[in-house]
Amino acid sequence: MNTKELKQAFIALYGEGDGQIQAYFAPGRVNLIGEHTDYNGGYVFPCALSFGTYLLARKNNSRIVRFATTNFDHRGEVVLDEPFEKEGKSWINYPLGVISELHKEAKEIEGLDMLYSGDIPNGAGLSSSASIEMVTGTALNDIFGFNIEKMDLVKIGQNAENKFVGVNCGIMDQFASGMGAKDHALFLNCETLDYEKVPLVLDGIKIVIANTNLRRGLAESKYNERRSECDAAVAEISKVKPIPNLSRLSLDEFRELSANITDEVIKRRAHHVISENDRTLRAISALNAGDLEEFGKLMNQSHDSLRDDYEVTGKELDTLVEEARKIPGTIGSRMTGAGFGGCTVSLVKEDSIDDFISQVGEKYKEKTGLKADFYIAEVGDGAKKIEL
- Would you name the residues annotated as active-site residues? 173
What pLDDT is stored for residue 300 in this prediction?
Answer: 98
Domain topology for 3-200+380-386: Ribosomal Protein S5; domain 2 (3.30.230)
Please state the pTM of the whole predicted model.
0.92
Structure confidence at residue 162 (pLDDT): 92
pLDDT of 373 reads 95
Across 311-329, b (16+ Cβ under 10 Å) vs e yields bbbbebbbbbbebbbebeb
| pLDDT values of the chain reduced to their tens digit, one per residue, 388 residues | 788 999 999 999 999 988 899 999 999 999 999 999 999 999 999 999 999 999 999 999 999 999 999 998 889 999 998 888 888 888 999 999 999 999 999 999 999 999 999 998 766 778 889 999 999 999 999 999 999 999 999 999 999 999 999 887 889 999 999 999 999 999 999 999 999 999 998 989 999 999 999 876 656 678 889 999 999 999 999 999 999 999 999 999 999 999 999 999 999 999 999 999 999 999 999 999 999 999 999 999 999 999 999 999 999 999 999 999 999 999 999 999 888 889 999 999 999 999 999 999 999 999 999 999 999 989 999 999 999 8
Domain boundaries, the chain: 3-200+380-386, 205-377
The Cα 150–Cα 142 span in angstroms is 11
Give the pLDDT score at 83: 87
pLDDT at residue 217, rounded to an integer? 60
CATH architecture of the domain with residue range 205-377: 2-Layer Sandwich (3.30)
